[in-house]
Amino acid sequence: KTPQEVLETLGKLTGTMQLPPLWALGYQQSRYSYYPDSRVEEVASEFRTKKIPCDVIWLDIHYMQNFKIFTFDSIRFPHPKAVNDFLHKKDFHSVWMIDPGVKKEKGYFVYDQGTSGNYWVLDSLHHEFNGKVWPGACAFPDFTMPETRKWWGGLYKNFLAEGIDGVWNDMNEPSVFDGPGGTMPASTLHRGGGGLPEDTHLRYHNVYGMLMVKASREGILKANPDERPFVLSRSNYLGGQRYAATWTGDNTSTWDHFKLATPMVLSLGLSGQPFSGPDLGGYKGTPDTTLFANWIALGAFYPFCRDHTDVESANQEPWAFGKKVEDVSRTALDRRYRFLPYFYTVFREASVTGLPVMRPVFFADLKDERLRAEQESFLIGKDLLIVPRWAKDTKLPSGNWKTLKLEKSDDGFQPTVKLRPGAIVPMNKVIQSTVEYKTDSVTLLINPDKKGFATGTLYDDSGNGFEYKKGDFDLYKFVSSKYNHKQLKVEISKVDGNREVKRVYRIGYVTNDAISYSDWSDSDVLVVPIVKEKKR
């Protein structure tokens, strides 16, 4: 009967996203490529010095020895574990690239194992198929074969032992530089197994990336069974949300691609893949200061939040564009981290129901046909409405959606954030990474409806591992109602979970002009004054 019901049914049919580690919801900094190891440490240190929140530094293919996967360059990255130890001490996590193309080179352990196990995709004559990628001539794992996926997953054990936290599976359409259309010939052969039939690449092209990240996730989980895997994929398929997050590929530093990102992420969410986002700032080319400032300000609200750029472009860290953009970036990312309790609660909802994290505006009012073509503004969950500052003639839902004045001054780039009438949204203090994340002090932003009623939820767990599946989590419900004509009563109740965290709360009562905060309290019932709107 509703689009939401369609997506929940899709989730039941194809599976829902697994709850990601909390750190994967933080801001992430990437480049093709950061090298050598000293440059990685320099970038990480600069984030902490400038107090710009960040959780992840990404390593692209230049960390490899001659672009051979599962290896480390002896000069650029002679001690990868030391690099990861440095990052961990600075409260960062790391994600390292692994492509499917395996360099055809006898004596290279990955190629030798794949050849010995007969794990490669074959050409139409049943010989090993070779195509050109970064290392030169490459063989490609046949992920339709269960034995190939098991072997591939096993390669991650020693790799992750270097202190690596997450894995980036790129080029997995698969990309073949000298192939027709930049991929494998349709006639190449996949041998199947485990319920998949033997057939050509024409049949398996669209699921090659999904089968790769399935194998990667299973291998990572086996290597580190007590940690939630994080895998990012450039190619995915319906149901692939069970294995990996998806980003929108190699975009350009243009206004067209910037504006295209929102409908792309919305479309992925409506396809059952809630964890996605674009390369902030654009991958190819260098954005001007205005474009980058707008991009990171809006991008702070995408489910996947990563700045990534090409090897030939200028530096694209938040401070690379001067102090004004640095300050805009800090404000934007402070916002993301302050809303982490709400983001994490919405991600948990997505993992349970299949609903997107980022949703089209028409979800707020299914009967309002004006909203159905809106693709510049969007919802996070059902309670926050994000309106870009550059957007013109946006179609927004009716009702008393209150604008949240989150900063004392306006830099002109931050999107307008509106709170749904009848909503309660949890917020946190500013932190520099999710390592500092706690929910012992929570602010509840309240926008009562006309009757003074509002509701909200807060989900909390350890942020990693799987103990939440055994009940080690908290799910709280907040309900506000009019206590009398001058006061609002907010009741806090635990509805599920066995986790025990002592919390103090304060109420942020939202008006058109400001947010009025109450004192902190550890009570389960809070009574706060109703602030009257100023007449305009």
Positions annotated as catalytic residues are 170, 173, 250
Report whether 423 contacts 455 (CB < 8 A): yes
Strand duo 402-403 + 416-419: pairing? antiparallel
* Angle 205-258-48 from CA coordinates, rounded to 5°: 100
Residue 527 to residue 521: CA distance in whole angstroms: 10
Q: Mind spelling out the 3-state secondary structure of 129-149?
A: CCEEECCEEEECECCCCHHHH
Token code pair at residue 484: 């009398």
First to last CA, the chain: 41
Residue 422 to residue 399: CA distance in whole angstroms: 10
Q: Is 423 helix (H, G, I), strand (E, B) or coil?
A: strand
Q: Mind spelling out the 3-state secondary structure of 461-477?
A: CCCCCCHHHHCCCEEEE
Strands of the 231-233 sheet, one edge to the other: 276-277, 245-247, 231-233, 166-169, 93-98, 56-59, 28-29, 306-307, 279-280
DSSP 240-268: GGGT-EEE--S-BSSHHHHHHHHHHHHHH
Report whether 209 contacts 235 (CB < 8 A): yes
- Cite the DSSP H helix spans in 339-478: 340-353
Residue 387 to residue 371: CA distance in whole angstroms: 13
C-alpha 465 chain-centroid distance: 18
Report whether 250 contacts 279 (CB < 8 A): yes
* Angle 497-300-327 from CA coordinates, rounded to 5°: 125
Which residue type does 425 have? V
Query: What Cα–Cα distance (Å) separates residue 306 from each residue in 140, 343, 400, 438, 470?
Result: 28, 16, 33, 23, 32
Strand duo 199-200 + 378-380: pairing? unpaired
Single out the residue of 415, 245, 260 nearest to residue 332, CA to CA.
Answer: 415
